[in-house]
Every structure is written in C-alpha cells, then in structure tokens.
Structure 1
Amino acid sequence: MKQHEADHIQMSVPAKPEYVGVVRLTVSGIANRAGFSYDDIEDMKIAVAEACTNVVTHAYEDSGTMNISYFLYDNRLEIVVADKGQSFDVTEVRGHLGPLDVSRPVADLKEGGLGLFLISTLMDKVELSNESGIVLVMTKFLHGDEVEQDVDGFSETQPEQ
C-alpha cells in the first residue's frame, strides 16, 4: 500500500539577506493555500526567516546557496532549509535527523542557537541534522478540527428566547 505523497515545492536561492523575504513570501503563499490560520502563517514566516538568516550568517564564508523545500500534506506543512548548496534527498536525510533539544541551556545550542530556540517555540516539530551541511526540518500541523470543537462549545450556550 502506497503512502500518500505530499505536494513538493523546491527552491534554491542565493544565501544573501535580500532573498530571505522571497522565502518568507513563498511560505506565506503555500500556507495560505493550505488553509492555515493567520497566526500559524505568521509563525511560519518568522521561523523560516530565522532559519534562512542562520544560513546567510553562518553557512558560507563567501557565497553559497540555500535550498528550501516545502512538503504539503493533508494535515501539515514541512519546511526544509538546507545549506552547503547540496541538493538532498529528504528521505535519505531523515535517517540522520534528530529532535532539537530545547531543554539544554540556550548557550549550549549551536551557532544561531537563540534563533533555533525561537524556531522551536513557533513550530510544532523541529528536527536538525548537521551531516554534510545543516538540514533543518520544521513542521506545522494544520489544526482544522479545533474550529469545529469551539463552535460546538459555543452552540451549547445559546441565549434563551
């Protein structure tokens, strides 16, 4: 039985500050199309900007490329930001991913650690691999059923007529 595949959008941009906004706009468009709330979209825009800023600041001495992949599933959006200009196979990289340990003191985190801490608070799941460059996978789940639960709660307290 074949697992449901995601829509995959991939982009490579120069690791320069002026392209971070392009990546932010892209995640905003994809997340909006998928039906995410305004607040979730804003969280994703900040998280992806932090991830890209880390690449711009730390990944290259001269110039390089950021590879950003968006995997849109029925219930979530996974955003992958990778540096070192290497194209990558996410299924292969997944074997090397580990959860970001935010229980450690912020000072113990890698370069850009405060950014990683912020990303982990904005996203539902964050995984990191530092084999052959940094690969950061950020996941935001689509919480569409919360609205229905809230609506049911409000319908019970209708005013008397």
Structure 2
Amino acid sequence: MNQNEADHIVMSVPAKPEYVGVIRLTVSGIANRAGFTYDEIEDMKIAVAEACTNVVTHAYEDSGSMSISYLLYEDRMEIIVADNGQSFDVSKVKEHLGPVDANRPVGDLKEGGLGLFLISTLMDKVEINDESGIVLVMTKFLHGDGVEQNVSGLGQTTQPEQ
C-alpha cells in the first residue's frame, strides 16, 4: 500500500447517545488491528466519543444521523466524523479543511469548544470543515508523532567500547 492509498471503512449511525459506544468499539477494533498501542487507542476512543457526542448534542433538533469514516494508511489512521449523515467525497472535504486551534484560550471557544480542545490534545492532527454541517478529521500517527523511525540510522544502538 503506498502513502496515498488507504483502506476506507464507513459507518452511518443514528445521532443518538446509545450509538456512541458502538463507534468507540469500532475505533478500538480498527486501531488495534492497525497496530496502535493501548494508550493511543484509548486516546482515539475518547476523541471520537467526544466528536460524536458533539454531533448528538448540537447537530439536530429532532433526529438525524452521523457518518464516521476510518481511513487506514501505512503510517496513520484518520477518523472523520460528519454530522450530516450523508456519504461524502473525502478528497473534496479535505480540500476545505482548516486547523483546530488548541492554543486559543478555552473561554474563546464556542459551544462544544472544550470538546474540540480535548480532541486536539489527544490526537496528532485535527482539522475541521464547517461549510455544510460539521466535518471533523482526526489523525493519529503510528509510532506516536509521525516521525519516521530510524531515520538515517538515528536511534540505532551501538555497543560501547570496552
């Protein structure tokens, strides 16, 4: 699989609190299969639960659905939560993404902003598109921070001279 190809898994569930646990379990299973550590998986579960809870709480007056996409690359997993429940073209959504600024004071964040702050501290990269509904893209890199392991021999151990 090259860097631009991904396995793409899509779910659409009712925007109801009882389905947030199902989504958490799905994230856990997919991330475990991809090779993430226990702590990384726990961070992803909290982040996706917070994103989905925001949809359940704020997106609809009556009822609606949410779409969750999981994109698995060699070096990362992207989790996309969209509140319109419609299928969407991932590449088109990504063209209009902007960063979530975790450095802004918590008091400046709008409703649901504390959840976005939490998500941005748990994930390696968080982007948002709010043109038609909210689309949140959360990225977690394998091996922590996305730094390639053993670049140019760094990190290799040698035996000390005796």
TM-score bracket, normalised by the shorter chain, equals 0.7 to 0.9
- In structure 2, the residue matched to 1:55 is 55
Preserved CA contact (<8 Å) 2:123 2:140: yes
Displacement of 1:94: 1.0
Displacement of 1:104: 1.6
- In structure 1, runs of 5+ residues without a counterpart are none
Preserved CA contact (<8 Å) 2:78 2:137: yes
User: Which 4+ stretches in 1 moved above 6 angstroms?
Assistant: none
Preserved CA contact (<8 Å) 2:102 2:121: no
- In structure 2, runs of 5+ residues without a counterpart are none
- In structure 2, the residue matched to 1:7 is 7
Preserved CA contact (<8 Å) 1:60 1:84: no
More helix by share: 1
Instruction: Report whether the alignment pairs 1:40 with 2:40.
Output: yes
Cα separation, 2, equivalents of 1:84 and 1:8: 19
The correspondence of residues 15-26 of structure 1 with structure 2, limited to 5 A, is 15-26=15-26
Q: Which residue identity is paired with 1:12?
A: S
Q: Secondary structure at the match of 2:22?
A: helix
Preserved CA contact (<8 Å) 2:3 2:74: no
Q: Secondary structure at the match of 1:68?
A: strand
Q: Which residue identity is paired with 1:13?
A: V
- In structure 2, the residue matched to 1:81 is 81
Preserved CA contact (<8 Å) 2:6 2:72: yes
TM-score, normalisation: structure 2: 0.87
Deviations 1:51-77 (A, max 9, x none): 000000000001000100000000000
Residues 37 and 3 of structure 1: CA distance in aligned 2, closer, same or farther (over 3 Å)? closer
Displacement of 1:96: 1.2
Cα separation, 2, equivalents of 1:8 and 1:114: 29
Instruction: Report whether the alignment pairs 1:70 with 2:70.
Output: yes
Displacement of 1:3: 6.0
Cα separation, 1, equivalents of 2:87 and 2:110: 23
Residues 156 and 28 of structure 1: CA distance in aligned 2, closer, same or farther (over 3 Å)? farther
Displacement of 1:4: 3.3
- In structure 1, the residue matched to 2:120 is 120
Q: Give the total of aligned pairs.
A: 153
Superposition CA RMSD, Å: 2.0
Q: Which residue identity is paired with 1:113?
A: G
